[in-house]
Amino acid sequence: MAKAKITFEDIEQTVSVPAGTRVIEVSERIGAGIIYGCREGDCGTCMMHVLEGWNNLTEPSVLEEKVLKENMAGRHDRLACQAQIIGDCKVKPA
Amino acid sequence: MKTSVDVSAHREGVEFADGVYWVGALDPNLRTFDIILTTANGTTYNSYLVRGSDGVAVIDTVKENFSDEFFARLESVADYSEIKVIVLNHLEPDHSGALPELMRRAPQAHLYISQRATSMLKALLHGEADLQYTTVKTGDSVSLGDRTLAFLHTPFLHWPDTQCTYVEEEGVLFSGDVFGCHYCDKRLYNDLVGDFRFSFDYYYAHIMRPFKKHVMDALKLIEPLHLKQIAPTHGPILRDRPRRYVTHYRELSTSALARSIGEQDRSMIIFYMSSYGNTARMAEAISEGASSIEGVRVSLYDLQGGETDPFVDLIEEADALLFGSPTINGDAVKPVWDLLSSLAVVNLKGKLGAAFGSYGWSGEAVRMIEDRMRGLKMNIPVQGQRVKLIPTDEELQDCQDFGRQIAEVLVGKPQEKGVIDFADLA
Ligand SMILES: Cc1cc2nc3c(=O)[nH]c(=O)nc-3n(C[C@H](O)[C@H](O)[C@H](O)COP(=O)(O)O)c2cc1C
Ligand code: FES
Ligand SMILES: [Fe+2]
Ligand SMILES: [Fe+2]
């Protein structure tokens, strides 16, 4: 299976994951600082800032775009419970 | 002689600044609010009306079953056809309850809410799907001719949607639940009502306390205002020396620990329970290890000798929280759960957490505590420490290392790390 690396800047930890893994699955197990509420893309609690590899996460859905907008997300912010890792990237809590 | 005020004797609006009226409702019999609050003497739902040369604005409404009183007071000072603007500073039903009926009576009025309020509006008013509204933020304002409503974006006080509205010309701040309290008094003004200090502090402690950081952000917007009166959505109108309440909010939101130990030191608290002393011995070793790291102040508490409330105060100000419990009948012990289920009033987001404990054969407690801490939005950087029955010297050494490791994370010392494989994560 294709692999990708995700780095959590706040804890300076890189994890090698199967492509398609959601960020939430990794960050929770590794204890990175991203936090979660609803876990289903509704509340915006899990907003993260993508530092590198913006295009290596799956595209945000229309619903995610809406929640990002409501939560006044910056240009490179995503929901960690929604974004799937498809290539190397680096993130930190928003 | 003091002028007497008794708003329970009539159903009219009360003018408290030029063209600014209270049109709220009294709920003297309420004793429990939002499940989590009690009140010894009810509450008020304060709604306000501002009359400008070019139209009328209504700021917040009331709980639905108090609509009659609200509409009666409103009708005494304005005609529905004059209402040009409706502002909801907060969509909780105690302030949005009469909105649908108000919109029916004043269909020409335009609604102003915060961006965060939009999805809540839909979820609260299912029937009125195509309600028109404009979202506003700090810097936006609406003119009523000789009166201007300026908006302040003050989210999370205490819902994501909350905002404040300021009438520049009169120096009146409509603060929503901020500076409010559940205190019903027909004399309406802070200089006439009874001693409501307890209710004010109690309201802060249960409603605003989890959001201290957001309170500080809001105060940055509020403090520079020329404040003649503060008009919150519950309790007395603060017309006498309103700035005292702003100062008080700042005091309540400032960390007491940082003032006493200095900003640089990080605080770690270790709570434990132990029947035969095994988990206690682990706690001491962990404490010793953590204390060896410069800049970390460690406190050790046996849960058997304490009460929940003061522990909650300690937890609020700590940077790292460790919980030690033996496994008893496949679970952590009750005092640990009692404390971990009493933390809704404090913000734990991002604090470090860790668990440890002695066990006999299955040892579930440590993992269960870790899961609970994750649920409370804490970070668990180091996997918990478990020891079977009596810790050996070697195991106590491991406990010291465990304490040291967490303390190092706490002071930001980078740990040696390579790339971890996802499959190796528990
Ligand atoms: C003081 C208070 C705090 C709340 N906190 C949250 C929260 O953190 N997350 C959330 O999703 N909803 C929160 N809510 C919203 C309630 O869950 C929501 O109003 C719900 O519809 C109430 O359901 P009930 O009518 O069964 O009590 C909060 C409500 C109140 C009054
Ligand atoms: S956790 Fe709620 S949106 Fe991701
Ligand atoms: Fe509220
Ligand atoms: Fe309220």
Residue B277's CB is within 10 A of a number of other CB atoms, namely: 13
Kindly give the distance from the C-alpha atom of residue B190 to the centroid of ligand 4, in angstroms, as a whole number.
18
CATH number, domain of B33, equals 3.60.15.10
Ligand 1 atom 30, closest CA: B34
Calculate mean pLDDT across residues B215-229.
97
pTM for this one?
A: 0.82
The pLDDT score that the predictor gives to residue B281 is 97
Chain A residues whose CB is inside 8 A of the B422 CB are: 15-18, 21, 26
CATH number, domain of B275, equals 3.40.50.360
Q: What contacts A39, CB < 8 A, 6 or more positions away?
A: A24, A46, A81
* pLDDT, tens digit, 9 for 90 and up, residues A50-67: 999 999 999 999 999 999
**Encoding tokens for residue B248?**
């008080």
Mean pLDDT, all residues of chain B = 93
- Which B residues 119-178 touch A at CB under 8 Å? 119
Closest residue of B to A21, CA-based? B422
In percent, how much of chain B has pLDDT > 70? 96
Ligand 1 atom 14, closest CA: B159
* Kind and range of the H or E run holding B316: helix B308-317
Ligand 1 atom at shortest distance from the alpha carbon of B37? 1
Site to probe by mutation for ligand 2, drawn from A28, A34, A45, A91 as the one with most ligand atoms within 8 Å of Cβ, is A45
pLDDT at B261 exceeding the cut of 70: no
Same-domain check for residues B292 and B219: no
* pLDDT, tens digit, 9 for 90 and up, residues B348-360: 988 999 999 999 9
Calculate mean pLDDT across residues B174-188.
97
pLDDT at B1 exceeding the cut of 50: no
Quick one: pLDDT band at residue B417, thresholds 50, 70, 90? low
Quick one: pLDDT band at residue B379, thresholds 50, 70, 90? confident
B223, part of any domain: yes
Calculate mean pLDDT across residues B209-236.
96
Cβ–Cβ under 8 Å, residues B327 and B359: yes
Chain A residues whose CB is inside 8 A of the B421 CB are: 15-16
pLDDT at B129 exceeding the cut of 60: no
Same-domain check for residues B269 and B226: no
Q: Are strands A77-79 and B352-359 parallel, antiparallel or unpaired?
A: unpaired
Q: CA–CA separation, A48 vs A3, rounded Å?
A: 21
Mutation choice for B interface testing from A5, A13, A45, A67 by most B CBs within 10 A: A13
pLDDT at B125 exceeding the cut of 80: no
Say which of A11, A29, A71 has its CB closest to residue B426.
A29
Ligand 1 atom 13, closest CA: B159
3-state class (DSSP) for residue A87:
coil
Q: Could you tell me the residue ranges of all domains in chain A?
A: 3-93
Q: What contacts B393, CB < 8 A, 6 or more positions away?
A: none
Ligand 2 atom 3, closest CA: A41
Cβ–Cβ under 8 Å, residues B356 and B399: yes
Between residues B278 and B422, the one the model is more confident about: B278
Of B219, B253, B287, which one is at a domain's C-terminal end?
Answer: B253
Q: Indicate yes or no: CB of A13 within 8 angstroms of CB of B417.
A: yes
Of B228, B253, B278, which one is at a domain's C-terminal end?
Answer: B253
Lowest mean pLDDT among B53-57, B120-124, B414-418: B414-418
pLDDT at B315 exceeding the cut of 90: yes
Q: CA–CA separation, B177 vs B232, rounded Å?
A: 6
* pLDDT, tens digit, 9 for 90 and up, residues B230-245: 999 999 999 999 999 9
- Decide whether any atom of ligand 1 lies within 6 Å of the B34 Cβ: yes
B78, part of any domain: yes
Calculate mean pLDDT across residues B96-106.
95
Chain B residues whose CB is inside 8 A of the A72 CB are: 115
Say which of A28, A30, A93 has its CB closest to residue B420.
A30
Q: Indicate yes or no: CB of B377 within 8 angstroms of CB of A36.
A: yes
Cβ–Cβ under 8 Å, residues B316 and B286: no
The pLDDT score that the predictor gives to residue A38 is 87
Ligand 1 atom 25, closest CA: B34
The alpha carbon dihedral of B311, B315, B318, B323 has a sign of positive
Residue B216's CB is within 10 A of a number of other CB atoms, namely: 13
Lowest mean pLDDT among B26-40, B190-204, B404-418: B404-418
**Encoding tokens for residue B74?**
């409103």
Q: What contacts B205, CB < 8 A, 6 or more positions away?
A: B345
pLDDT at B263 exceeding the cut of 80: no
The pLDDT score that the predictor gives to residue A17 is 95
Q: CA–CA separation, B309 vs A66, rounded Å?
A: 40
Q: Indicate yes or no: CB of A70 within 8 angstroms of CB of B420.
A: no
The pLDDT score that the predictor gives to residue A10 is 86
Q: Indicate yes or no: CB of A12 within 8 angstroms of CB of B381.
A: no
Q: CA–CA separation, A13 vs B171, rounded Å?
A: 51
Closest residue of A to B159, CA-based? A43
pLDDT at B119 exceeding the cut of 90: no
Mutation choice for B interface testing from A5, A10, A28, A29 by most B CBs within 10 A: A29
Q: CA–CA separation, B14 vs A86, rounded Å?
A: 62
Of B384, B379, B304, B314, whose CA–CA distance to B342 is shortest? B314
Site to probe by mutation for ligand 1, drawn from B156, B159, B348 as the one with most ligand atoms within 8 Å of Cβ, is B159
Output Rg (C-alpha) for chain A, integer angstroms.
Answer: 12
Between residues B136 and A10, the one the model is more confident about: B136
Closest residue of A to B380, CA-based? A31
Kindly give the distance from the C-alpha atom of residue B412 to the centroid of ligand 1, in angstroms, as a whole number.
35
| CA B417 to chain CA mean position, Å | 37
B2, part of any domain: no
Distance from CA of B196 to the nearest CA of A (A): 35
Ligand 1 atom 21, closest CA: B124
Residue B299 backbone phi and psi in degrees, to 5: -125, 140
The pLDDT score that the predictor gives to residue B128 is 64
Say which of A5, A26, A31 has its CB closest to residue B381.
A31
* pLDDT, tens digit, 9 for 90 and up, residues B25-43: 999 999 998 888 899 999 9
Cβ–Cβ under 8 Å, residues B61 and B248: no
Range of the domain at B345: 264-425
B280, part of any domain: yes
Q: Count structural domains, chain B.
A: 2
* pLDDT, tens digit, 9 for 90 and up, residues A66-94: 999 888 899 999 999 999 999 999 999 98
Cβ–Cβ under 8 Å, residues B247 and B215: no
Of B197, B219, B253, which one is at a domain's C-terminal end?
Answer: B253
The pLDDT score that the predictor gives to residue A2 is 87
Say which of B377, B415, B425 has its CB closest to residue A29.
B425
Complex ipTM more than 0.90, yes or no: no
Query: What is the second-level CATH architecture of the domain A3-93?
Result: Roll (3.10)
Locus of tokens 């994951």:
A17
Q: CA–CA separation, B367 vs B384, rounded Å?
A: 7
Same-domain check for residues B268 and B246: no
| CA B3 to chain CA mean position, Å | 36
Q: CA–CA separation, B422 vs A18, rounded Å?
A: 8
Of B200, B290, B190, B177, whose CA–CA distance to B236 is shortest? B190
Mutation choice for A interface testing from B163, B217, B420 by most A CBs within 10 A: B420
